Structures are given as C-alpha cells and as structure tokens.
C-alpha cells in the first residue's frame, strides 16, 4: 500500500516538474504590484485573538512573570522546516 502511494507521488511530481519546465520562467514571475497586493492580503488582521496574548520571547522573562503571577508557562517549540514540521 505505502509503496503504491510513494510511486504515485513520484509520478505526480515528475509530471508537475515536466509541466513547469515547459513554461518560461517569465510566466511564473511576480510583478511588484502583484507582490504588494498579495503581501497585503496575507497579513494577519490586527484584531485576531492570538495578538491579544502577552507573548514573551525569552524563556527567562516568561519564567519570572509566571512565578510572579503564579501561572504556568506554555512553550511552543518546533524542529525543522515550518511548512513540513519534522
């Protein structure tokens, strides 16, 4: 089962690569206007709930504040590429 999935993925990636090489690079370039539009669309909204949390960047700062307020610390840690967390 897993071998068939791997072969299918490899075939799909090969087909995509072949299609991409058939197009010129200029077809995939972004104009400055398109970049600015996309950049503006991808920005988080100022009223998103995660922005209201008083995040601390340094562990020692968080530890001192947590001890003073007698609250636990929540640590979010990742390893690897952010788009393919390993």
The reported pLDDT for the residue numbered 61 is: 92
In a domain, 82, yes or no: no
Work out the mean pLDDT of the chain and round it to a whole number: 76
- What's the predicted TM-score (pTM) here? 0.38
Domains identified in the chain, total number: 1
pLDDT exceeds cutoff 70 at 13:
no
* Distance from C-alpha of 72 to C-alpha of 65, rounded to nearest angstrom: 10
In a domain, 49, yes or no: yes
* Distance from C-alpha of 45 to C-alpha of 50, rounded to nearest angstrom: 10
Mean pLDDT of 1-11: 52
Give tens-digit pLDDT for 57-80: 889 999 999 999 999 998 887 777
Mean pLDDT of 5-29: 58
- Residue 18 sits in which domain range? 2-69
DSSP string, 9-67: HHHHHHHHHHHHHHS-GGGG---HHHHHHHHHHTSPPTT-GGGGS---SSHHHHHHHHH
DSSP code at position 6: H
In a domain, 23, yes or no: yes
């Amino acid at each position: 089962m897993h071998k068939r999935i791997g072969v299918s993925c490899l075939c799909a990636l090969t087909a995509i690569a072949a299609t991409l090489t058939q197009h010129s690079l200029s077809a995939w370039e972004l104009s400055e206007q398109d970049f600015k539009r996309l950049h503006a669309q991808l920005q988080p909204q100022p009223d998103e709930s995660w922005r209201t949390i008083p995040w601390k960047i340094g562990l020692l700062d968080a530890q001192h504040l947590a001890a003073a307020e007698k609250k636990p610390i929540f640590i979010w840690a990742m390893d690897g590429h952010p788009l393919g967390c390993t």
